[in-house]
Amino acid sequence: KTDSGDGSRREVAAAEVVVPATQPAVTARLLALAEHDNRVQEHLLYLSKHIGPRLTGTKAYDESAEWTRDQFAAFGLEARLETFGEFPVGFERGVSHGRVVAPDERELEFITSAWSAGTAGPVRGRAVLEPKNEAELTALEGRLAGAWVLRTEAPRGGGADSRAGGADTPDPDRDARAKIREALESTEIAGFVRAGSESGLLTMGGNHRVDPDKLPTRVQVRLVHDQFQALVQELESGVPVELEFDIQNRFTPGPVPCQNVIADWVGRERPYEYVIVQAHLDSWDGAEGAQDNGAGVATTLEAARLIAATGAKPRRTIRFILYGGEEQGLLGSAQYVKAHADTLARTSVVFNHDGGSTHLQGLAPTYAMIDDFEQAFAPVKDLDPQRPFRLRELLGLENSGDSDHAPFLAAGVPAFFWEQSEEGYEIVHHTQFDDFETVDPAEQEHSARVVAVAAFGFADLDHLLDRTDMTPLPRRRLGASFDGARVRRVMKGKAQGAGWEVGDVVVSIDGAEVTGDARIGSALQEGGATKIFRLRRENAEFETTIDWNDESAEADRAERGKRRAAFLAAKGRASTR
């Protein structure tokens, strides 16, 4: 189908399609198609609204794997499912509902972890505060059976508070409380209720390693923080509170096979060599999984559709992969790398989209790769003035986090996590807000164009990507974490030694303005080992110098710098580092 100029689409016969013969012509065709007939949001809408959350090992995940396989096949690719493992039991989340019954009726917003117990229908019971000592436990004798116990400690890990450097509330008598919890666990209470983070976010999670012979039975609810605090205040004021939860979590017999989706656009000259475009298909199941990672799945699908629509075959095969089990520890990608070890030396490059729906804005190749990257990305660098694409040259690839590029990088394959602003991503990442409505269509449409151009460009090179000095170097570390450019935590390390304090704002590094924590992270790894930081504290600005020259990794950096200079000299170019 093609755009008719009035917003409608018409069918195009195969004979009408002109297959361009050169890479620039193919790129122009890709960009024209993407401009007038971009369907990335259609893919995302179906994933988010029709299928919904896609927890690995569930029927919804299996449906999404089959649907995406069929989409690839409909585009004209060779598509299949490939089993990467199995989970011991199945898990399905049904509808959940919770409310305050007394002293008045109020709806409650909450989550339960994946692979956790539900209720056998609505369960109503009194709310009680978790006892803090044996005297309080004794006072509750006869009142715990069927009760919902409110645990009043701060939320433990995984939420926005922990990411911001928050700490757990100190527990002065941990052993005593452990004994109390043991006693509660042995009592026929209805379940436990905890508070979510103070930000209001409910962070998803869960452990798929369930023993089929010892299925979880204790209901664990995590309630929006403000609602939880309101309940605590009522109970502390002596107001009787009654709660009701109906949580339709259920286990199904296992083992449950888990599958990746693989689709090939076969190359014309070197079909046994690969460029891989990938994303993870699975999501946590407390929202729609639109940004994490429906966004990456949609750009991967649309890049495949656009390339196939040109009819043009690059020199080598473009392999599109959608993984399961990413959220449980990169299970699908790790098994792919293991199962396809014989193809890794013939895999030129891997591009992984797993950073939400803000537009793809850059990558950081090595000095030996930079020329190929400049060539491949030339068509999109300034395609949209509002969404420029920039390359940063490094002395070694960045080991940039836990996503499906990491197993490839560990196996010596050039693998990249797209750089994005990730603005607002912390609000939706693994939370109840990860829905289709949070995605900006224009951002996604632009990203799909970038992925398609990159995939074809690298697949049509006359050589594989140069792996010289690609091994990641140990990262330079500050001993500080950030909220944007503001210091949110100072730990033992160089920042502490330089007198940094929580609340300081990084204004510039070596004279270059800092706009956020992503820029700080990249600036640390680039250039020389001594850096001048300009900070703002309250209304005053000052400078500190931090030096990494005493670290052993800097010797390796220096040697790579010499090899880079020699590499450039052999090409007749001067080093600017």
Q: How far apart are CA 62 and CA 56, in angstroms?
A: 8
- How sure is the predictor about 11, in pLDDT bands with cuts at 50, 70 and 90? very low
Q: Give me the mean pLDDT over the 475-492 stretch.
A: 92
Burial of 551 (0-12, 13-18, 19+ CB in 10 A): middle
State the Cα–Cα distance between residues 530 and 551, nearest whole angstrom: 12
- Count of CA atoms in the C-beta half-sphere (13 A) of 503: 4
Q: Name residue, tokens 């002109």.
A: 18
E-only strand ranges, 427-550: 480-483, 486-490, 505-509, 512-513, 530-537, 540-547
Residue-wise pLDDT for 331-389, tens only, equals 999 999 999 999 999 999 999 999 999 999 999 999 999 999 999 999 999 999 999 99
Average pLDDT (542-569) is 93
* Cα dist from 538 to 325, 395, 503, 556, whole Å: 45, 36, 8, 39
Rounded to whole angstroms, the Cα distance separating 91 from 255 reads 11
Which tens digit of pLDDT belongs to each residue from 30-85? Answer: 999 999 999 999 999 999 999 999 999 999 999 999 999 999 999 999 999 999 99
Q: What's the burial of 472, exposed, middle or buried (CB within 10 Å: 0-12/13-18/19+)?
A: middle
Q: Tell me what percent of the residues of the chain surpass a pLDDT of 70.
A: 92
Q: What is the pLDDT of residues 175-200, one digit of tens each?
A: 777 888 888 888 899 999 999 999 99
For residues 410 and 308, give the distance between their C-alpha atoms in angstroms, rounded to a whole number.
31
Evaluate whether 7 touches 249 at the Cβ level (below 8 Å): no
In tens, the pLDDT along 239-279 reads 999 999 999 999 999 999 999 999 999 999 999 999 999 99
How many angstroms separate the first and last alpha carbons of the chain? Answer: 49
Q: In 165-277, which ranges are continuous DSSP H helix?
A: 174-185, 225-236
Strands across the sheet containing 78-87: 78-87, 256-265, 316-323, 270-280, 347-352, 415-417
Locate 159 and state its tokens: 């939420």
Taking alpha carbons only, the member of 501, 556, 516, 510 closest to residue 530 is: 510
| pLDDT at 427 (0 to 100) | 94
Task: Give me the phi and psi of 218, to 5 degrees please.
Answer: -85, 125
pLDDT of residue 159: 35
Q: What whole-number distance in Å separates Cα of residue 550 and Cα of residue 494?
A: 11
pTM: 0.89
CA distance 540 to 109: 44
**Paired sense of beta strands 347-352 and 270-280, if any:** parallel
Question: What is residue 368's predicted lDDT score, i.e. its pLDDT?
Answer: 96
